[in-house]
Amino acid sequence: MRELTALLAVTIVATATLAVGAFGLRVSRTTSDFFVASRRVGPFLNASAIGGEYLSAASFLGVAGLVLLRGVDMLWYPIGWTAGYLLLLVFVAAPLRRSGAYTLPDFAEFRVESQAARQVASWLVCLIGALYLVPQFQGAGLTLSAITGAPTWVGAALVAFVVLVNVAAGGMRSVTLVQAFQYWIKLCALLVPALLLWLAWHHHGSPSHHLHSSDWVEPLRGPHATYLTYSLILATFLGTMGLPHVVVRFYTNHDGTSARRTTLGVLAMLSMFYLLPTAYGALGRVYASDLIGSGRTDSVVLELPERVLGGTGATLLTALLGAGAFAAFLSTSSGLVVSVSGVLSQDVLSRRFDSVTGFRIGGVVAAGGALVLAEGTQGLPVAHAVELAFAVAASTFCPLLLLGIWWRGLTALGAMAGMVGGGILSGTAVVAVMVGVHATGWAGALLAQPALLTVPVAFMTMVGVSLADRARVPLHVGRAMVRLHLPETVDVDRGSYAPMS
């Protein structure tokens, strides 16, 4: 009965997504509907859409699991994922919209006027996209197995299938309204059970066993905790602006001013959402602490209703949570696969295939590759895998965006050197974690949270090489700065750059 209800809920979400994809095929096939949307979509809807695409498996399941496992220090994850939008707001949002760039490789090409820099950025989009996709697929496998007992690959394959059908149909890309709904579905799917669970906990006399162990309740108790915390802060605060599926959404804003207001809206929506995982983590400590021993902390959100309430109510709530979780996997995976396959088709496959075929092949490569990786790296906590993607983004695209927008001296060579250097350093840590290297002491801390080292190195490389190469500052940097910073109401020449479509 429980399995059936949950399965029904997941099927409804998957079918609805497929139906929307099929509908999207008819109404919107090209990037140009972003232009159409840009005239009609207001900041509120846009902010909901960004929230819908952004809140992934890591937010829906992973944070609660980490809080259950490791306590108060893990609250920095949701803080970082929210504060990242504050830094995006103050440094990037309006200029990025004004640049007219549709993707990060577009921005690299526009700003440093180099096809080679564009290529480097394209490969990085693929790398970050794949890193971010893996935990989505893992989360899907875990969810389906927790609520129905199916083997983990079934859920992962289901999400990959739905996303691929969507990408092949060309849907999802433009459906701002659907992504916006996804946010509210996710919020309700987490909020309603949380309230009921809290009431039940109160009814049980507010039990608090396991809540007082000092390792869990007090901050910074583990080895290297201060380093790890600051490194996590740096990665998440600076990584958000470099996520490929986030950047694309800024294009649907009408102008720089509305890009800022949209970002403010995103901050408000994330702030509401991220109050909830903490509650699940803490309740999990009371009712489901055995999950720590069995290594299944990521499924705490899904298991709580059954343990706290039982009966039909629990069945319905589990189904609701499962549906919300699948909404999270599907929306984030779709956004990522679309971004990655767009880049693959444009910059890697365009010489051999026409754009539509290239786009589809790109989608298959992206989703297939991530699926294989997801099966190969089971056991890595979902939220930590996502955090590594943030570390890579913070060590590559963050310096590109910050220096590109605010410093005239950036050259193509400098940008490439910084992206490659930061990418290799942070990528090494990612590979080490994925293949299961268990270093101890400082090496272990560095591999677990590389950002505090790799981000400054990437910045210094980009600045240093640009200074050495200053004879080759891009020709049109003056015009680029006019375009990036001047409000749209001032009637000036903004150059002729237009992204490939």
Partner 1 sequence: MSDEPIARVRITSPRTRAARSRTRRSNAAEIDALTRLGEVYVQSLMRAQLRLAGYVVLLLAASIGLLPVVFQLLPVSHVHLLGIPLPWLLLGVAVYPWLLGLAWWYVRRAERNEAAFVDLVEHREDPA
For residues 63 and 78, the answer to whether their CB atoms sit within 8 Å is yes
* Nearest Cα to Cα of residue 136 among 284, 292, 243, 238: 243
Structure tokens at 404: 């590109």
- Mask for 24-43, x = binds partner 1 (CB under 8 A): --------------------
Per-residue contact string for residues 334-353; x = within reach of partner 1 by CB under 8 A:
--------------------
Stretch that binds partner 1, among 148-156, 256-264, 356-364, 458-466 (CB under 8 A): 256-264
Residue 15 CB burial class (10 angstroms; 0-12, 13-18, ≥19): exposed
267 touches partner 1 by CB under 8 A = yes
CB of 85 to partner 1, least distance (A): 8
Q: Which of 191, 463, 482, 500 binds partner 1 (CB under 8 A)?
A: 482
Question: Is position 72 an interface residue for partner 1 (rule: CB under 8 A)?
Answer: yes
Question: Largest alpha-carbon pair distance within the chain?
Answer: 72
* Residue position matching structure tokens 């983590």: 281
Going 486 to 490 to 495 to 501, the CA torsion angle's sign is: positive
Instruction: Choose, by CB under 8 A, the member of 148, 420, 479, 497 that binds partner 1.
Output: 479
Minimum distance from residue 487 beta carbon to partner 1 (Å): 4
Residues 252, 255, 260, 264: is their CA dihedral positive or negative?
negative
Nearest distance from C-beta of residue 468 to partner 1, angstroms: 24
Looking at beta carbons only, is 24 or 65 nearer to partner 1? 65
CA end-to-end distance (rounded Å), the chain: 49
Output 25 or 481, the one with its CB closest to partner 1.
Answer: 481
Q: Per CB under 8 A, does 90 bind partner 1?
A: yes
Verify binding: residue 492, partner 1, rule CB under 8 A: yes
Site for partner 1 contains 161 (CB under 8 A): no
CB of 288 to partner 1, least distance (A): 19
Please state the φ and ψ torsions of residue 150, each to the nearest 5 degrees.
Answer: -70, 155
Burial 104-143 (b: 16+ CB within 10 A, else e): bbbbbbbbbbbeebbbbbbbbbbbbbbbbbbbbbbbbbbb
Sign of CA pseudo-dihedral 398, 432, 425, 75: positive
- The yes or no reply on residue 91 touching partner 1 (CB under 8 A) is yes
For residue 5, give every residue at least 6 positions away whose Cβ sits within 8 Å of its Cβ, in sequence order, or none. 315, 316, 318, 319
Comparing CB distances to partner 1, the nearer of 17 and 231 is: 231
Cα–Cα distance, 176 to 48 (Å, whole number): 9
Smallest gap from Cβ 452 to partner 1, in A, equals 12
Site for partner 1 in 189-248 (CB under 8 A): 214, 217-220, 226, 229-230, 233
Which residue, 94 or 246, is less far from partner 1 as judged by CB? 94
Q: Is the CB of 221 or the CB of 472 nearer to partner 1?
A: 221
Query: Quick one: DSSP state of residue 456?
Result: H
Burial track 316-342 (b if 16+ CB lie within 10 A, e otherwise): bbbbbbbbbbbbbbbbbbbbbbbbbbb
What whole-number distance in Å separates Cα of residue 86 and Cα of residue 80?
Answer: 10
| Residue 491 contacts partner 1 per CB under 8 A | yes
Please choose, from the candidates 126, 182, 168, the residue with its C-alpha nearest in 3D space to the C-alpha of residue 29. 168
The dihedral through the CA atoms of 403, 404, 406, 407 has a sign that is positive
In angstroms, what is the minimal distance from the CB of 233 to partner 1? Answer: 7
5 vs 278 by CB, closer to partner 1: 278
Task: Determine if 406 is a binding residue for partner 1 (CB under 8 A).
Answer: yes
Nearer Cβ to partner 1 (19/275): 275
428 belongs to the binding site for partner 1 (CB under 8 A): no
Q: Which of 92/309 has CB closer to partner 1? A: 92
Q: Which residue spans within 273-398 are E strands per DSSP?
A: none
3-state secondary structure of 233: helix
Whose Cβ is closer to partner 1: residue 148's or residue 278's?
278
- Tell me the site size for partner 1, rule CB under 8 A: 46
Candidate residues 31, 38, 278, 428; the one interacting with partner 1 per rule CB under 8 A: 278
Q: Which residues bind partner 1 (CB under 8 A)?
A: 72, 75-76, 79, 82-83, 85-87, 89-91, 94, 214, 217-220, 226, 229-230, 233, 257, 260-261, 263-264, 267-268, 271, 274-275, 278, 406, 478-479, 481-482, 485-487, 489-493
